[in-house]
Amino acid sequence: MRAFWGTLTLFLIAAAASAQDENPYRVEIDLGRQTAYLISGRSVVMQSPISSGRYGHLTETGSFKVIEKERSHHSSIYGKIVDGYGRTIVADADVDMHVPGGCRFVPAPMPYFMRFHGSDGMHAGYLPGYPASHGCVRMPDQLAVAFYNAVDVGTPVTVFGRTPRTSGYFQYGGQQQQRRPPWPWFRQPIGPQYEPRPQIYESRPAYP
């Protein structure tokens, strides 16, 4: 009997030590509120406005985990086309698009990338004030850095809610509604500004 209790005590001590070594955080992404939360236990440690997947490229809901972290990640699909002088010819291009002679395709930067499902991940990027990505979850630069430093590979990520269809969102598809986005920050886009795509092309953001 003493041997049993001794073994149980050692098991509990080892389990407690293992739990202390694990990352204490989890991430919850509310698509409806367009907000990401860094949570420890029952407390919200940090929250960030986001721009999630737009019409046709919605960010998938479900329970995931961080499967990769890369500080200087670049998209393998999306980017821009520049000429020989570095001037942007097409601000929102994909890797399959025809590249004119003398031009080149430049992959879109996705700094502080935290992949959690397929090609989707959280990263620093442009926030226009509505869902506008190709599935990724964009954050303001400083908050992306903070989330990146807090999470580890294996950190749980839960994505839930319904993506709102705001006036900005409908430029990519669906029916226009006469109402403004619910966010108080929609008037001031967050993040670096990029050249608009020429009128001959469909206008889409440069980041996935």
Q: Which residue has the higher pLDDT, 76 or 125?
A: 125
Q: Which residue has the higher pLDDT, 17 or 71?
A: 71
Q: Which residue has the higher pLDDT, 152 or 192?
A: 152
What is the structure's pLDDT at 185? Answer: 42
What percent of the chain stands above pLDDT 70? 65
Q: Output the six-digit token pair for 166.
A: 């705001």
Q: Which CA distances in Å does 26 have to 48, 85, 127, 137, 174?
A: 14, 44, 23, 15, 33
- pLDDT of residue 168 exceeding 70, the answer is no
Q: What's the mean pLDDT in 14-39?
A: 80
- pLDDT of residue 146 exceeding 60, the answer is yes
What is the structure's pLDDT at 167? Answer: 53
Q: Could you tell me the pLDDT band of residue 199, with boundaries at 50, 70 and 90? A: very low
**Span 73-111, pLDDT tens digits:** 877 667 678 888 888 877 766 677 788 888 887 777 789
**How many whole angstroms separate alpha carbon 186 and alpha carbon 18?**
43
Fold of 25-172: L,D-transpeptidase catalytic domain-like (2.40.440)
The set of residues, in sequence order, having a beta carbon less than 8 Å from that of 57 and lying 6+ positions away, is 133, 134, 135, 208
Q: Output the six-digit token pair for 208.
A: 């996935």
Q: Output the six-digit token pair for 178.
A: 């006469």
What is the structure's pLDDT at 190? Answer: 52
Q: What's the mean pLDDT in 17-41?
A: 85
What is the structure's pLDDT at 142? Answer: 96
**How many whole angstroms separate alpha carbon 152 and alpha carbon 178?**
42
| Helices (H), ranges, 68-187 | 141-150
CA 168 to chain centre: 18
Average pLDDT taken over every residue of the chain: 76
**Span 34-69, pLDDT tens digits:** 999 999 999 999 999 999 999 888 999 999 999 999
Q: Output the six-digit token pair for 86.
A: 């570095």
Q: What's the mean pLDDT in 136-153?
A: 96
The domain spans of the chain are 25-172
Q: Which residue has the higher pLDDT, 137 or 77?
A: 137
